[in-house]
């Protein structure tokens, strides 16, 4: 193919300023259509695979859950039963619940007694002036 194209290039490399599709060689047309076709085929293969991967994944998951007894025999997991928006709403609700938990306090005020060992360095008696006013 390369040699063929090189020959075409030698014949064709005239660098005119006019665009003329009639001057385009058959090799170029072939590359254009086959190339674009292959891009399509590659991505169609991905479409087919990724349309089926979730189905296989959910079927396997369903079988596992049934084996573990987490779902009934006639119960099925529906593909795409939870949308991204619903997931986002659940996540937001959980986030807000956890954040707002902080504000729900008991309202009982206690004094926590802190006991420290005596040290002359922090003793109040040495830091105040012992003056009798």
Partner 1 sequence: MLILVAMLIGLGAIFNIAEMSAANSASEITAASGLAQFWAFTGFANATVQHLIMIVVGLFFIFLAVKYDYEPLLLIPIGTGILMGNIPFLIGYKIGVYEEGSVLNYLYFGVKQGVYPPLIFLGIGAMTDFSSLISNPKLFLLGAAAQVGIFATFLGASALGFTPQEAGAIGIIGGADGPTAIFLSSKLAPHLMGAIAIAAYSYMALVPVIQPPIIRLIIPKKERLIKMKPPRAVSKTEKIIFPILGLLLTCFIAPSALPLLGMLFFGNILKESGVTERLADTARNSLINIVTILLGLTVGASTQADYFLTTDSLKIFGLGAVSFAVATAGGLLFARLMNVFLKKDNKINPMIGAAGVSAVPDSARVVQVEGIKSDPNNHLLMHAMAPNVSGVIGSAVGAGILLAFLL
Rule CB under 8 A: which residues touch partner 1? 1-2, 5, 8-9, 12-21, 23-25, 27-29, 31-33, 35-36, 38-47, 49-51, 53-54, 57, 79-80, 82-87
C-beta of 32 vs 122, nearer to partner 1: 32
Are 62 and 78 contacting, i.e. CB atoms less than 8 angstroms apart?
no
Up-side HSE of residue 62: CA atoms within 13 Å toward CB? 14
C-beta of 89 vs 123, nearer to partner 1: 89
Distance CA 124, CA 109 (A): 27
Q: How far is the CB of 94 from partner 1 (least distance, A)?
A: 15
C-beta of 35 vs 122, nearer to partner 1: 35
Q: How far is the CB of 31 from partner 1 (least distance, A)?
A: 5
Chain position carrying tokens 């206690």: 110
C-beta of 28 vs 66, nearer to partner 1: 28
Q: How far is the CB of 66 from partner 1 (least distance, A)?
A: 18
Spatial CB neighbours of 76, under 8 Å, sequence gap ≥ 6: 62
Spatial CB neighbours of 4, under 8 Å, sequence gap ≥ 6: 27
Are 26 and 41 contacting, i.e. CB atoms less than 8 angstroms apart?
no
Q: How far is the CB of 42 from partner 1 (least distance, A)?
A: 5
């Amino acid at each position: 193919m390369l040699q063929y194209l090189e020959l075409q290039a030698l014949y064709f490399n005239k660098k005119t300023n006019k665009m003329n599709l009639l001057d385009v060689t058959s090799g170029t047309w072939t590359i254009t259509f086959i190339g674009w076709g292959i891009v399509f085929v590659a991505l169609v293969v991905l479409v087919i695979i990724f349309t089926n991967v979730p189905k296989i994944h959910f079927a396997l998951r369903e079988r596992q859950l049934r084996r573990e007894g987490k779902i009934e025999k006639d119960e099925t997991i529906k593909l795409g039963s939870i949308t991204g928006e619903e997931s986002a709403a659940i996540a937001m609700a959980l986030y807000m619940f956890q954040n707002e938990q902080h504000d729900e306090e008991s309202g009982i005020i206690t004094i926590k007694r802190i006991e420290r060992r005596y040290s002359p360095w922090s003793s109040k008696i040495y830091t105040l002036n012992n003056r009798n006013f």
